[in-house]
Structure 1
């Protein structure tokens, strides 16, 4: 968690949300989940570097970024459960 804060500026709340999201996707092994978190954060970092912007998730933005990373064939498509 501390590494993610220092390298990516991700606070504990965001980190825990990312961790929980990957767990919900079926990555139960904690070591594999930690590796996936780092790959995701690197993915996000690369996306923002291309746009010369600061990393911000905003309301709902984290979930969209996670979906774009984990389900690249559905990029930009979000589903709403009613």
Structure 2
């Protein structure tokens, strides 16, 4: 998990397909209870995932993507 989230920050904007795939994988992993705990422990994970999802949403506009309202880092109790 650490390697995936660390690698997100290293990806260029031109590698949109990789970014989209990574966002999809991470959103699926975060949906499982034991994995969401691991994702939350990585300091930059939520920021990176939020960035990926926002980038993918703005570029593809697919209906199955997580909306901005569903991003946990925007929640007032997020640490």
TM-score, shorter chain, exceeding 0.5: no
TM-score of the two chains, using structure 1 as the length reference: 0.31
More contact order relative to length (CA 8 Å, sep ≥ 6):
2
Q: Which protein is bigger by CA-based radius of gyration?
A: 1
